[in-house]
Amino acid sequence: MKVIQNYIDGRFVPGKREFADINPANGTVIAHVSEVTEVQVDEAVNAARGALQGEWGRIGIRERAARLHRVADAIEKRFDCFLQAEIADTGKPVSLAAKLDIPRAAANFRVFADLIKMNGLEAFHTETPHGGNALNYAMLKPLGVIGIITPWNLPLLLLTWKVAPALACGNSVVVKPSEETPATAALLAEAMQDAGIPKGVYNVIHGFGPDSAGEFLTRHSGVNAITFTGESRTGAAIMKSVAPTVKPVSFELGGKNAAIVFADCEFDAAVNGLSDAVFLNTGQVCLCAERIYVERSIFDQFVEALKKKAENLNSGWPLDQETNLGPLISAQHREKVISYYKLATEERATLITGGGVPDFGDDRDNGFYIQPTIYTGLPESARCVKEEIFGPVCHIAPFDSDEEAVAMANDSKYGLAASIWTSNLKRGHRVARQMNVGITWVNCWFLRDLRTPFGGAGLSGIGREGGRHSLNFYSELNNICIQL
Ligand code: NAD
């Protein structure tokens, strides 16, 4: 059986022991993964440091950008390989991965290749009251070795979202993909080789979090910054781990995102948009809406329409073009989501649809499928309304005024995303500005421009990535003051 190895200093190398990579659609083992040792993490960090002293540290921005475009070309050339690997690891429907995950990986490299070329310097002509006359300009320099830790829900998309700007800024990277989805990070190593990225610039280490690859990387004194996407409590553990070596962190964490549907919305557009927002990727997108607030006059109609959408989803095999709801990532994650379905019953929710596990009568029963589920009737204090579930599930509650809707939407420790559905432009602007989140969509969801800031407030993260925000995070700023 195939073994997915670590990639250190331009070579694939085995680790100390292996763990299984499982296909969530039928529970079969598809590969074994080599868990990295602490000594090998040290080698990966040293290789990354060494690469900064070599060709990678000498080439200019123009050439760096050209090579990043070549990485994008190499991803596009291997599109089918990436697609098959991502689908086998995650169980996501081919219709989604072919449209979203793989194209976005290539786009991430192209966008940051172009942005770094266009990036200007901040400059001031300084005249002081006592005759000082100088030119100040701030130069972006590479930070050094970047540790990148990513989750399983959008493995290649989220990995390249960080690798591309880190390399665009001239850094080298050591990446730790999720133990659930190691395949595409390894394939990316091959694309890097094709594109002429020097050895040591891109390294991949496989393993788990605590006392394994993740922790070895975060506490390593040779790593200059950590960028992490994952659960909020993992972010807290990483903060502790980086503290002794005082590294900058960028955190994209969990969410419990709200949607507000006003009676004046375009009804069908809102239902279609929110069906995606709740069920896309089986609800395993940090931006998914798990709380929907609907103006009372259209509440029953909305609940009925979203129920129809949920019941029309097709939980087929991932490679079937008609499938639009895949399995959850793992048995363990399904246990977690089911525990919330049980809790919702204990909390006396009204079950509108779903609430259990489908019965297919074929091999999918060995996979980790779950029914798309809608609840109503819970108080705002219920745990199912407060905690991130990360499955194809939402709770819908009515509201009577703009103020009440805003207050309920903002009553969360998380602050990642919100969406607002209204035909009243003024209301759209007004309510959007009141949301305590990193991104608010009006009459759309998940529409992303990679030049815009992305990140969350509260438990949803620290900092922003995207566009110049990524360039700032992955660079050291050196202000130079020249006497004129
Ligand atoms: P997770 O936090 O369990 O794991 C993410 C990564 O961190 C994995 O590679 C894991 O091995 C590693 N890790 C775990 N413990 C660690 C430790 N102590 N030290 C270092 N590394 C450690 O998250 P997950 O279950 O893979 O992903 C789902 C979560 O990610 C959800 O909460 C979701 O909201 C969040 N997410 C956020 C965004 C965003 O942009 N805000 C995007 C996608 C997913």
Query: Residue 147: in which H helix or E strand, if any?
Result: strand 145-149
Ligand 1 atom index nearest CA of 178: 9
DSSP, collapsed to helix, strand or coil, labels residue 176 as: strand
Is the CB–ligand 1 distance for residue 388 below 6 Å? yes
The full length of the chain comes to 484
Residues 385-396, mean pLDDT to the nearest whole number: 98
Q: How far is residue 324's CA from residue 124's CA, in Å, rounded to a whole number?
A: 53
- Residue 154 CA: nearest ligand 1 atom is 43
Residue 457, pLDDT above cutoff 90: yes
Catalytic residue selected from 169, 265, 286, 384: 286
CATH number for 257-450 (one of 3.40.309.10, 2.60.40.420, 3.40.50.150, 3.30.200.20): it is 3.40.309.10
Strands 417-421 and 257-261: parallel
Tell me the CA–centroid distance for residue 286 and ligand 1, in Å: 10
* Exposure b/e, 417-442, CB count within 10 A at least 16 = b: bbbbbbeeeebbeebbebbbbbbbbb
Side chain identity at 456, as an amino acid letter?
G
Q: Residue 262 and residue 402: Cα distance in Å, rounded?
A: 9
Tokens 């895949």 sit at which residue?
326
> Long-range contacts of range 308-312, CB-CB < 8 Å, 24 or more positions apart?
309/271, 309/272, 309/275, 309/279, 310/275, 310/278, 310/279, 310/353, 310/354, 310/372, 310/373, 310/374, 310/392, 311/353, 311/372
Average pLDDT over residues 280-284: 98
The DSSP symbol for 244 reads G
467 lines ligand 1 (CB under 6 A): no
Q: Which of 153, 252, 285 to mutate to test the pocket of ligand 1 (most atoms within 8 A of CB)?
A: 153
250 lines ligand 1 (CB under 6 A): no
Task: Please state the atom number of ligand 1 nearest to the C-alpha of residue 286.
Answer: 34
Q: Where are the domains positioned within the chain?
A: 3-253+460-483, 257-450
Which atom in ligand 1 lies closest to the alpha carbon of residue 333? Answer: 25
Residue for token pair 């609907």: 294
| Closest C-alpha among 404, 380, 407, 409 to residue 258 | 409
156 lines ligand 1 (CB under 6 A): no
Q: From atom 17 of ligand 1, which residue's Cα is the shortest distance away?
A: 209
**3-class SS of residue 59:** coil
Q: Look at residue 28 in the predicted model and tell me its pLDDT.
A: 98
Q: What pLDDT is stored for residue 129 in this prediction?
A: 92
Q: Which two tokens stand for residue 133?
A: 């006359």
pLDDT score of 233 more than 90: yes
Which residues, at least 6 apart from 432, have a Cβ–Cβ distance to it below 8 Å?
Answer: 418, 420, 440, 442
Burial level of 461, CB count in 10 A (0-12/13-18/19+)? buried
Question: Distance between CA atoms of 92 and 353, rounded to whole angstroms?
Answer: 22
The protein residue with its alpha carbon nearest to ligand 1, atom 34, reads 254
- CA–centroid distance, 299 to ligand 1, in Å, is 35
Distance 217 CA to ligand 1 centre (A): 14
Cα separations (Å) of 293 from 298, 332, 336, 370, 473? 11, 30, 24, 24, 35
Task: Decide: 234 and 226 in contact? Cβ < 8 Å.
Answer: no
Pairing of strands 249-252, 172-176: unpaired
| Ligand 1 atom with minimal separation from the 232 CA | 32
Of 86, 180, 215, 252, which one is the catalytic site residue?
A: 252
Atom of ligand 1 nearest to the CA of 456: 41
Tell me, in angstroms, the distance from the centre of ligand 1 to residue 342's CA. 24
**What's the pLDDT band for 166 if we cut at 50, 70, 90?**
very high
User: Which atom of ligand 1 is found nearest the CA of 152?
Assistant: 26
37-77 per-position pLDDT tens digit: 999 999 999 999 999 999 999 999 999 999 999 999 999 99
Residue closest to 290 by CA, chosen among 379, 378, 393: 393
Would the pLDDT of 16 be above 90?
no
| Ligand 1 pocket test, candidate residues 286, 389, 469, most atoms within 8 A of CB | 286
Residues of the chain with pLDDT > 90, as a percent, come to: 99
Q: Which of 21, 108, 181, 234 to mutate to test the pocket of ligand 1 (most atoms within 8 A of CB)?
A: 234
Q: Are 217 and 249 in contact (CB under 8 A)?
A: no
Return d(Cα 147, Cα 447) in angstroms, integer: 28
- Told to judge if 286 belongs to the known catalytic residues of this protein, a careful annotator would answer yes
197/189 Cα distance (integer angstroms):
9
Nearest to 391 by CA among 318, 303, 328: 328
pLDDT tens digits for range 350-371: 999 999 999 999 999 999 999 9
Report the DSSP beta bridge partners of residue 3.
32
- 253 CB within 6 A, ligand 1: yes
Sole residue written with tokens 């290539």: 106
pLDDT digits (tens, 9 = 90+) for 192-202: 999 999 999 99
Judging by beta carbons within 10 Å of its beta carbon (0-12, 13-18, 19+), is residue 55 exposed, middle or buried? middle
**Amino acid found at 79:** F
Give the pLDDT confidence score for residue 248 in this predicted structure.
Answer: 96
Expressed in angstroms and rounded, the spacing between residue 474 Cα and the centre of ligand 1 is: 20
| CB of 179 sitting under 6 A from ligand 1 | yes
For ligand 1, say whether the CB of 288 is within 6 Å of any of its atoms.
no
Is the C-beta atom of 218 inside 6 A of ligand 1?
yes
The correct answer on CATH 1.20.150.20 for the domain covering 3-253+460-483 is no
Burial of residue 449 (CB within 10 Å: 0-12, 13-18, 19+) is exposed
Q: From ligand 1's centre to the CA of 251, what distance in Å? A: 10
Residue 178 Cβ inside 6 Å of ligand 1? The answer reads: yes
Q: Is 438 in the pocket of ligand 1 (CB under 6 A)?
A: no
Summarised one tens digit per residue, pLDDT across range 324-338 is 999 999 999 999 999
Instruction: State which ligand 1 atom lies nearest to the alpha carbon of 210.
Output: 18
CA 150 to ligand 1 centroid distance, Å: 6
CA angle 228, 233, 238 (to 5 degrees): 45
Ligand 1 within 6 A of 255 CB? yes
- Say whether pLDDT at 214 is over 90: yes
Global pTM value: 0.97
**Would you say the CB of residue 333 lies under 6 angstroms from ligand 1?**
no
